């Protein structure tokens, strides 16, 4: 059996796995079959990591999330599987747990091109590629076009030299995304490969001839790839093209967001033009969130004034963005934004507050805790805010989170939200809070408590696994 040797952490992992499994299991199985949940979790974990379960990636991410170095042997064993899924996720799981990126030796053992492509694609999406020895991987060869471009683009992002020949061979590729991105890479060039504008000019003719859905889909893919690989030279031509009539407003907004991240002056100019022409409340809120997301990229503080229209949420966004980009203390503005009642901007404010010095973020947390006792129920933090507060506060003051859980213990929704935040924080001290609350929480909260305990390294008892099973069912 593949997992016999490395599988030393089954009872610890079973909690995470059984939660995921039972959330997608058929209702009939949950309610009518008598199941030994402890054995079922172990059996299904083994089957999912050695078979064709489509949820394998989720299980691997959950196991890697324990940060237990002992699980690396499990992932390495998966690479020896007969099946493609375990092999792919074995390489990715090893990369996640080792924090060293893709192991070239493991990738060399994968000979199927579609599997190698899947590994590079997932590594790109998850950020694994950024810490991988990309030049060593590229030298192995045997990559499909998209994977080849990803590896070369990552080398380009690092300002290292790359061979233009394989890129030039792709400018007439049947896949317009591959052809377009190859053209953008050649347009960017390098020290040994001078910029070549001709392939991009030729590609634009091809792009504009595509049907509308394909044209916009291709453009969005090129925008995303340029942002991921920080291809600054692509910002101007993509912005220029996206602003023309053949492209939708969503494509245009995506291009602006990309430019704000990788070519901020060009992005700000395009953003200002867009805001001037689109003044609906929805459009302004969306634009405000977009500029806030890049407020650490040298945005002029006055740029945020463009979204002001007297609305409380928009004014709070503008004040916060101006404070951050202007290098001022943003605490008061963040509190105002949290109190404005807009869920997406409040979640952003929570995350931004967590990045402040502890003495500053503590002011924000104290304010939210004070709101818990507001006599007007409408002014109290929502479940989303409570979850975020618990998650962020766990990093600096677990005792305050324990007090928060106690404070909301009589509200099923809020106490589950608080436990969700404890779980999402992945802070070891969460296990003490979880163990102290066991037996007093709603069903979903009990399941979260056991999951938190398992993540901290404590083995799960049969009762713990039963609780997880009931919660998921």
Q: How confident is the model at residue 453 (pLDDT cuts 50, 70, 90)?
A: confident
**Nearest-CA neighbor of 91 among 21, 140, 44?**
140
Domain co-membership, 132 together with 149: no
Residue 18: its pLDDT value, please?
A: 41
Mean pLDDT, range 54-60, rounded to an integer: 71
Mean pLDDT, range 48-71, rounded to an integer: 72
Domain co-membership, 120 together with 149: no
Domain assignment present for residue 265? The answer is no
Mean pLDDT, range 343-367, rounded to an integer: 90
Element (H, E) at 425: helix 412-425
Domain co-membership, 151 together with 131: no
Measured on CA atoms in the order 345, 347, 351, 354, is the torsion positive or negative?
positive
Q: How far apart are CA 363 and CA 349, in angstroms?
A: 13
Domain co-membership, 149 together with 253: yes
**Nearest-CA neighbor of 249 among 280, 225, 227?**
280
Domain assignment present for residue 361? The answer is no
Domain assignment present for residue 269? The answer is no
Query: What value does the mean pLDDT of the chain take?
Result: 87
Which distant-in-sequence residues (6+ apart) come within 8 Å of 387 by Cβ?
A: 417, 418, 420, 421, 424
Q: How far apart are CA 300 and CA 269, in angstroms?
A: 11
Q: How many domains does the chain have?
A: 4
Least confident of 87-91, 416-420, 446-450: 446-450
pLDDT in tens, 267-300: 999 999 999 999 999 999 999 999 999 999 999 9
Domain assignment present for residue 272? The answer is no
Least confident of 157-171, 201-215, 390-404: 390-404
Which distant-in-sequence residues (6+ apart) come within 8 Å of 291 by Cβ?
A: 260, 271, 299, 303, 304, 307, 321
pLDDT in tens, 296-351: 999 999 999 999 999 999 999 999 999 999 999 999 999 999 999 898 999 899 88
Q: How confident is the model at residue 16 (pLDDT cuts 50, 70, 90)?
A: very low
Mean pLDDT, range 374-378, rounded to an integer: 84
Q: What is the pTM of this model?
A: 0.81
Q: How far apart are CA 297 and CA 448, in angstroms?
A: 37
* Residue 234: both structure tokens together: 């692509």
Q: Which of 80, 103, 137 is the last residue of a domain?
A: 137
- Cα 234 to Cα 173, 225, 262, 428: the distances in Å are 19, 10, 9, 43
Phi, psi angle pair for 10, to nearest 5°: -60, -50
Domain co-membership, 343 together with 385: no
- Within a 13 Å sphere around the CA of 33, how many CA atoms are in the beta-carbon half? 13
Domain co-membership, 352 together with 287: yes
Q: Which of 115, 137, 159 is the last residue of a domain?
A: 137
Domain assignment present for residue 270? The answer is no
Domain co-membership, 132 together with 205: no
Domain co-membership, 18 together with 123: yes
Q: How far is CA 123 from the centre of its chain?
A: 12
Domain co-membership, 186 together with 251: yes
Domain assignment present for residue 188? The answer is yes
Domain co-membership, 172 together with 251: yes
Q: With beta carbons less than 8 A apart as the criterion, state whether 92 and 122 touch.
A: yes
Domain co-membership, 7 together with 125: yes
Q: With beta carbons less than 8 A apart as the criterion, state whether 335 and 360 touch.
A: no
Which single residue is written with the structure tokens 């399941």?
Answer: 447
Q: Which of 137, 170, 194 is the last residue of a domain?
A: 137
Which single residue is written with the structure tokens 């100019």?
Answer: 269
Find the domain containing 454 and state its range.
Answer: 367-473
CB count within 10 Å of CB 314 equals 21
Domain co-membership, 86 together with 155: no
Residue 35: its pLDDT value, please?
A: 45
Which distant-in-sequence residues (6+ apart) come within 8 Å of 174 by Cβ?
A: none
* Residue 265: both structure tokens together: 């002056």
In degrees to the nearest 10, what's the CA dihedral of 142, 143, 145, 148? -120
Percent of the chain with pLDDT over 90: 66
Q: How far is CA 298 from the centre of its chain?
A: 23
* Residue 440: both structure tokens together: 């007093």
Domain assignment present for residue 362? The answer is no
Q: Please give the residue that has the higher pLDDT: either 374 or 41.
A: 374
Q: Is the pLDDT of residue 378 over 50?
A: yes
Q: Please give the residue that has the higher pLDDT: either 210 or 37.
A: 210
Give the relative orientation of helices 462-472 and 10-24 as an angle to the nearest 10 degrees: 20
Domain assignment present for residue 63? The answer is yes
Q: Is the pLDDT of residue 23 over 80?
A: no
């Amino acid at each position: 059996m593949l997992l016999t040797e490395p599988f030393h952490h089954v009872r610890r992992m079973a909690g995470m796995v059984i939660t995921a499994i039972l959330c997608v299991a058929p209702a009939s199985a949950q309610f009518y079959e008598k199941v030994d949940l402890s054995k079922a979790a172990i059996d299904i974990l083994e089957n999912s990591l050695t078979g064709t379960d489509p949820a394998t990636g989720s299980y691997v991410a959950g196991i890697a999330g324990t940060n237990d170095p002992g699980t690396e042997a499990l992932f390495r064993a998966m690479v020896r599987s007969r099946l493609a899924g375990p092999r792919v996720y074995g390489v990715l799981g090893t990369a996640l747990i080792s924090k060293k990126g893709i192991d070239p030796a493991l990738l060399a053992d994968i000979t199927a091109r579609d599997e190698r492509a899947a590994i590079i694609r997932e590594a790109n999406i998850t950020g694994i590629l950024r810490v991988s020895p990309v030049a060593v991987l590229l030298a192995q060869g045997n990559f499909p076009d998209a994977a080849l471009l990803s590896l070369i683009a990552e080398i380009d992002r690092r300002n290292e030299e790359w061979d233009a020949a394989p890129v030039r061979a792709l400018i007439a590729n049947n896949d317009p995304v591959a052809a377009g991105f190859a053209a953008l890479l050649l347009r960017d060039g390098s020290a040994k490969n001078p910029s070549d504008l001709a392939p991009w000019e030729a590609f634009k003719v091809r792009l504009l001839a595509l049907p509308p859905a394909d044209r916009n889909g291709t453009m969005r893919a090129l925008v995303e790839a340029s942002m991921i690989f920080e291809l600054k030279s692509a910002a101007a031509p993509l912005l220029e093209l996206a602003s023309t009539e053949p492209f939708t407003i969503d494509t245009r907004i995506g291009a602006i967001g990309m430019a704000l991240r990788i070519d901020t002056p060009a992005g700000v100019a395009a953003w200002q033009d867009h805001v001037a022409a689109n003044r609906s409340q929805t459009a302004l809120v969306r634009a405000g969130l977009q500029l806030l997301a890049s407020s650490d990229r040298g945005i002029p503080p006055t740029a945020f004034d463009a979204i002001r229209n007297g609305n409380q949420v928009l004014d709070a966004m503008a004040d916060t963005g101006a404070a951050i980009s202007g290098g001022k203390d943003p605490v008061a503005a963040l509190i105002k934004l949290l109190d404005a009642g807009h869920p997406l901007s409040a979640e952003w404010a929570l995350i931004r507050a967590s990045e402040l010095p502890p003495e500053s973020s503590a002011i924000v947390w104290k304010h939210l805790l004070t709101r818990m006792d507001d006599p007007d129920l409408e002014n109290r933090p929502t479940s989303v805010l409570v979850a975020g507060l618990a998650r962020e506060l766990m990093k600096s003051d677990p005792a305050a989170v324990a007090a928060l859980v106690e404070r909301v213990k009589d509200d099923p929704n809020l106490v589950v939200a608080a436990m969700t935040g404890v779980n999402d924080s992945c802070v070891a001290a969460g296990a003490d809070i979880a163990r102290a609350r066991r037996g007093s929480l709603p069903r979903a909260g009990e399941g979260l408590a056991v999951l938190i305990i398992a993540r901290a390294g404590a083995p799960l008892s049969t009762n713990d696994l039963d609780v997880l099973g009931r919660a998921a069912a």
